[in-house]
Amino acid sequence: MRGRLAAVLVAVIVLAACERRAAEEGGHEGEAPAAESHDAASKDDLLRIEPEMLRDLRITTTPAEARPAGEGVTALGELGVDEEVYAEVGSPIAARVVRLLASAGDRVGPDQALVELQSVELGKARADYLAAMAKARLARTTLERRSSLAGERIVPRREVQEAEAAASSAEAELQAAQAALAALGVSTDDVDVGANASRFLLRAPLAGVVIERAAVVGQLADPARPLFRVADLSRLWLTVHAFERDAVRVKVGSPARVEFTAMPGRHFSGTITLVGRQVDAASRTIPIRVDLPNDDGLLRPGMSATAWLALDEGAETVVAVPSASLQRLHEGWCVFLPRGEGIFEARPVGRGRDLGGEVEIVSGLEPGETIVVDGAFLLKAEAEKARGEGEHHEH
């Protein structure tokens, strides 16, 4: 009897202790438990990284984006200039570079001087123009004088006709000399009769940036090779190559999402403006052009890129993140969100379809939330390490 009574007392004491512990953890009696939010629920999922380790992680971030939910295809390509606002500037004749007036990277306006050249051929053309101009002026003066004398019957009509012929011939020679100067890219308003008669300026035909300068002082310029390349870089062309079975489904005006190797985790939006009309026999691909705005000047011609091209224009959008940002953790998928210096939240998310370099997120993340891209795998390793240490201490 005493043994049974002792057992009952022990059970009562244990039950009371459990109820007291539950009351301490659950708050005061009568209070409702606090509603869970991402911030509140993530306290156990917060990962703290020491400053020394944080520097070694080299973390990059990007916002989760809303993108078309329709079918698409990825294609590789290279960024180039917008050829509608691009010019290669070279000497029209063999000439020597005397003075450089612009450098690579300079922003230039239309008709701005780029380089001063010197050419013996130009000096001769200018001399011919001046001689033709003087001859034409003399022929006009002679014609006027003989016409006046013929009116007074002092000279015969035949001399007037000869003067008219001479004036016409001189005018034709002058026009030929003007055309010769124009072919050399020199205006007749810029003719110098002095020591600089053999010099001329090459000018930019449009406003833009000097993206290449091949001219060197003292160099003999070859008319077949450009000395400067000038382009307006506010808009660029990305040319990608898609397999013919996919390219035939791409439509002009459809959206394109572009990622550059030099800027992982960042995406740029463009518009398809041209689908090629010929299939490359070797690769069985068709070139497709994507117009990309470059207002901030981050993009450079020659960059390699991967473009996602829409194959249909569905109105529905989905949340998408770079594939590298999504990590497998605690039997599920998660992304890491920065929450302060050295603090990251491991946010559980629902994974959807692979979208070619990106993954659809069906739950747990909203467009615009900032996530970790580069460094996400190392954060996952730290999170698993921290959890393992916690479980070890619980034992």
**CATH code, domain with 216:** 2.40.50.100
Residues 106 and 215 in one domain: yes
Asked if residues 51 and 294 have their Cβ atoms less than 8 Å apart, the reply is no
CATH code of the domain containing 375 = 2.40.420.20
Distances in Å between the Cα of 268 and the Cα atoms of 202, 224, 255, 271, 290 are: 36, 37, 11, 10, 11
Q: Running DSSP on this structure, what letter comes out for residue 43?
A: G
The CA distance from 39 to 46, in Å, is: 9
Residues 135 and 262 in one domain: no
Question: What are the helix (H) ranges across the chain?
Answer: 2-26, 38-41, 51-57, 120-151, 157-183, 244-247, 376-394
Q: How far is CA 213 from the centre of its chain?
A: 21
Strand partners, 236: 81, 292
Residues 263 and 166 in one domain: no
Q: How many CB atoms lie within 10 A of CB 362?
A: 13
Residues 46 and 178 in one domain: no
Residues 323 and 365 in one domain: yes
Asked if residues 70 and 312 have their Cβ atoms less than 8 Å apart, the reply is yes
Strand, coil or helix: 373? coil
**Residue 55: partners with Cβ closer than 8 Å, 6 or more residues away:** none
Write down the number of H helices and E strands in the chain. Answer: 7, 23
Q: For residue 369, is it within any domain?
A: yes
Domain boundary among 266, 282, 315: 315
Q: For residue 30, is it within any domain?
A: no
Angle between helical axes of 157-183 and 120-151 (0-180°, round to 10): 160
- pLDDT value, residue 21: 42
Helix (H), strand (E) at residue 28: none
Q: How many CB atoms lie within 10 A of CB 11?
A: 10
Residues 106 and 213 in one domain: yes
- pLDDT value, residue 131: 84
CATH code of the domain containing 178 = 1.10.287
Residues 388 and 322 in one domain: yes
Q: For residue 17, is it within any domain?
A: no
Q: How far is CA 367 from the centre of its chain?
A: 23
Taking the alpha carbons at both ends of the chain, their separation in whole angstroms is 38
Q: Scanning the structure block, which residue is given the tokens 């003399």?
A: 138
Condensed to tens digits (0 to 9), the pLDDT of residues 240-293 reads 999 998 888 899 998 888 989 888 778 898 999 999 999 999 999 999 999 999
Q: How many domains does the chain have?
A: 4
Distances in Å between the Cα of 93 and the Cα atoms of 97, 99, 122 are: 12, 17, 8
- CA angle at residue 191 from 185 to 197, to 5 degrees? 95
Residue type, 368: G
Q: Running DSSP on this structure, what letter comes out for residue 103?
A: -
Q: For residue 324, is it within any domain?
A: yes
Q: For residue 6, is it within any domain?
A: no
Residues 62 and 160 in one domain: no
Collect the ranges in the chain with pLDDT lower than 50. 1-42, 392-395
- pLDDT value, residue 80: 96
Strand partners, 308: 74, 257
Residues 55 and 110 in one domain: no
Comparing CA positions, the residue from 191, 287, 299 lying closest to residue 244 is 287
- pLDDT value, residue 121: 77
Asked if residues 325 and 80 have their Cβ atoms less than 8 Å apart, the reply is no
The CA distance from 120 to 269, in Å, is: 52
The CA distance from 173 to 171, in Å, is: 5
Asked if residues 288 and 253 have their Cβ atoms less than 8 Å apart, the reply is no
Residues 333 and 384 in one domain: yes
Residue type, 33: P
Q: For residue 9, is it within any domain?
A: no
- pLDDT value, residue 198: 79
Tell me the residue range of the domain where 99 lies. Answer: 87-116+205-229
Tokens of 95: 């000439």
Residues 209 and 255 in one domain: no
Q: For residue 185, is it within any domain?
A: yes
The CA distance from 202 to 26, in Å, is: 82
Q: How many CB atoms lie within 10 A of CB 54?
A: 16
- pLDDT value, residue 105: 93
Q: Running DSSP on this structure, what letter comes out for residue 70?
A: S
pTM confidence score: 0.58
Q: For residue 27, is it within any domain?
A: no
As a dihedral over the C-alpha atoms of residue 77, residue 83, residue 84, residue 90, rounded to 10 degrees, the angle is 170
Residues 76 and 138 in one domain: no
Q: How many CB atoms lie within 10 A of CB 218?
A: 7
